[in-house]
Structure 1
Amino acid sequence: MKYPVLFILSLLIIAATFFLTPDQKKDPAPYAIVIHGGAGSAKPDMTNEEKQAHISGLDKALSAGYQMLGEGKDAVSVVEAVIRILEDDSLFNAGRGAVLTTEGFASHDASIMNGKDLSAGAVGDVRRIKNPISLARMVMEKSNHVLLVGDGAEKFAEKQGVGFVPPEYFITDDQKATLKKKLDQINKAGTVGCVVLDKSGNLAAGTSTGGMTGKLPGRLGDAPIIGAGTYANNATCAVSATGWGEKFIKNAVAFRISALMEYKGYNLKQAVKEVLDKNLSPKDGGVIAIDRGGNFEMYYTTPSMFRGVMTSDGIKEIKIWE
């Protein structure tokens, strides 16, 4: 043999790969998805049938997103797809079935953020867009802006070829009845949100909502406000909030969680707990959050929060009160 030494070395290298300990072998990249369907909106007298319907709706969205992650899809695409599923489900306060304003129509807010480069897009007070989260992504990727509202957002949607639906599409008998009661508090706070860690280690977050029952026309909550209801930064975490929007805006809840991690060295659990415990009251709401290590939190100050999580290491949970 011309090069016996090289041949022997090659055999040794090949053989060594078969005798690596589990700790020496590179683990597959972790990935995970966390979703919420709103905090404080679960009725205490909810029937088992209603409970199972909500759990089924969450499971459908959660499983679809997890499958996409397993296939290697990017975090932003997963967030958009999952929230579209929840927007199309009339059980939640986003898209079809969203709560109505004092004037009897549905007004939608949504936002999405990419933790890889801090790009973000949001829309507010849109009334004819079937899936506001997709329009928010278009604002992020196809405009020089972060937030578009009202007629301006819908004109932008027309130029992008987004499909419109009549305002009546969003209105359900349930929401008509809720508005008729003239409630002066949140009756359906089922804002939807999603945070994701993909196989590439990128984070993304998104939130979509119809806001508060009986809100004044033109009111925006925290869902379309980057740093209040939505935030993502690969260096720290991805966050989606739900609850009383004004409180989340005043306290910049989503960004503050990230800031505690970035500037004070908090871990995710510490940051989430401190921000919510110090700034929110018992009925204000909650957040879902995930960091680049795959650690996640589903924390709320309300009696309940529709929520679910699936991770690549086998965790799957869908809960309401527990």
Structure 2
Amino acid sequence: FRTAAETAWRVLESGGSELDAVERGCGQCEIDQCDGSVGYGGSPDESGETTLDAMIMDGNTMEVGAVADLRRVKNAIGVARKVIEYTKHTLLVGESASLFAVRMGFPYEDLTTQKSLSLFSEWLNRSCQPNYWKVQCSDGNKTFDCSGLTSFPVLFSCGFNAKSAGSNKASKVCVLFSTVHCRRVGDSPIAGAGSYADSTAGGAAATGDGDIMMRFLPSYQAVEYMRMGTDPTVACQKVISRIQKYAPKFFGAIVCANTTGSYGAACNKIPGFTQFHFMVSNPLLSQPTEQVVDCI
């Protein structure tokens, strides 16, 4: 998501805070819809509605603001930021999150698009059950092929800022996520699952099958590995390997960065997913660049 990375980096270059940067970057992805996995018009739930999850975390104060099952409000990450600023809570959900958003000045907007309506219509016409059921497609007599209709909610990691090597500027690590989901809460608004930040150690953000990954708190675990001095790449690999023991076919990846500016990533190798692509920005680069790692 190059545009989102560019947006976030421009905020940092202009002197904006890390929280401002990740909020603006992720907000840009919500507007652009990125690859269709972020923001309005994403995969509809079993009633045809698109709802949103988002989380933002301050690695200095350890404050977290998150929303889940947010309805009729497009700027999910903006609402999550307001949870930090205006409440003592960590996570607001469903209609309560939407009502809070309106009180904060966010307008009600339709999150449905022609694409999401088409996905829902095709889903119904194929007699597919909601995609979180273990038996995905059946009319009671035979099973239907629903490939392409049951997709994992892919999360967007806006990234984190860490102190550059050789710099004396105090570092602050922030991570953020936003995603669509299917009438359930995935890992993206859960601190330690979808993302985690601690300015004394680093930050991590996970993406993929949130229903599997949230059981292992991969982002928290990766940060703890880095706290013990583990290289970010190795920390990412250790987290993926830990999940592999229980779910060898899971779809997922994680990005890690420590407070010296080192970073790394890892992903689980399955058919159709053998590499993971992510964006990197730092003062030595004229613009965000795409990095690729081979899955393990």
TM-score past 0.5 threshold: yes
* Residue equivalent to 1:206: 176
* Residue equivalent to 1:80: 23
Q: What CA RMSD, in Å, does the superposition of the two structures yield over aligned residues?
A: 2.3
Work out whether 1:308 is the aligned partner of 2:279: yes
User: Within 2, Cα distance between the matches of 1:276 and 1:168?
Assistant: 34
User: Within 2, Cα distance between the matches of 1:85 and 1:65?
Assistant: 9
User: Within 2, Cα distance between the matches of 1:321 and 1:270?
Assistant: 12
* Residue equivalent to 2:224: 259
- Asked whether the equivalents of residues 86 and 92 of structure 1 are also in contact (C-alpha less than 8 Å), the reply is no
Identity %: 24
* Residue equivalent to 1:291: 258
Name the SS for the 1:172 alignment partner: helix
More helix by share: 1
- Asked whether the equivalents of residues 111 and 206 of structure 1 are also in contact (C-alpha less than 8 Å), the reply is yes
- Give the TM-score taking structure 2 as reference length: 0.79
User: Within 2, Cα distance between the matches of 1:76 and 1:108?
Assistant: 20
User: Within 1, Cα distance between the matches of 2:208 and 2:15?
Assistant: 32
TM superposition shift of 1:177? 5.9
Name the SS for the 1:88 alignment partner: helix
* Residue equivalent to 1:223: 188
TM superposition shift of 1:202? 0.9
Name the SS for the 1:166 alignment partner: coil
Deviation digits for residues 36-76 of structure 1, max 9, x if unmatched?
A: xxxxxxxxxxxxxxxxxxxxxx2211212222211221111
TM superposition shift of 1:305? 3.6
Q: After the TM superposition, which of the residue ranges 163-172 and 113-122 deviates more from structure 2?
A: 163-172
AA of the residue aligned to 1:296 = Y
Please list, as runs of the form range in 1=range in 2, the aligned pairs for 1:95-134 lying within 5 A after superposition: 95-134=39-78
Deviation digits for residues 231-277 of structure 1, max 9, x if unmatched?
A: 11001111121111122211011111112233x43232222111111
* Residue equivalent to 2:144: none
* Residue equivalent to 1:317: 289
Name the SS for the 2:68 alignment partner: strand
Which is higher, the Rg of structure 1 or of structure 2? Answer: 1
Structure 1: stretches of 5+ with no match in the other structure? 1-57
AA of the residue aligned to 1:196 = F
User: Within 1, Cα distance between the matches of 2:98 and 2:40?
Assistant: 17
User: Within 2, Cα distance between the matches of 1:226 and 1:235?
Assistant: 17
User: Within 1, Cα distance between the matches of 2:114 and 2:199?
Assistant: 35
* Residue equivalent to 1:244: 209
**Cα distance change, pair 265–289 in 1 and its aligned pair in 2 (3 A):** closer
TM superposition shift of 1:300? 1.5
Which structure has more RCO (C-alpha within 8 Å, separation ≥ 6)?
1
Structure 2: stretches of 5+ with no match in the other structure? 137-146, 163-168
User: Within 2, Cα distance between the matches of 1:188 and 1:295?
Assistant: 29
AA of the residue aligned to 1:104 = G
Name the SS for the 1:235 alignment partner: coil
User: Within 1, Cα distance between the matches of 2:154 and 2:284?
Assistant: 29
Equivalent in 94, 116, 124 of residue 38 of structure 2: 94
**Cα distance change, pair 170–231 in 1 and its aligned pair in 2 (3 A):** farther
**Cα distance change, pair 301–157 in 1 and its aligned pair in 2 (3 A):** same
Please list, as runs of the form range in 1=range in 2, the aligned pairs for 1:178-189 lying within 5 A after superposition: 179-180=123-124, 182=128, 184=136, 186-187=150-151, 189=153
- Give the TM-score taking structure 1 as reference length: 0.73
Q: After the TM superposition, which of the residue ranges 169-178 and 202-211 deviates more from structure 2?
A: 169-178
* Residue equivalent to 1:66: 9
AA of the residue aligned to 1:307 = F
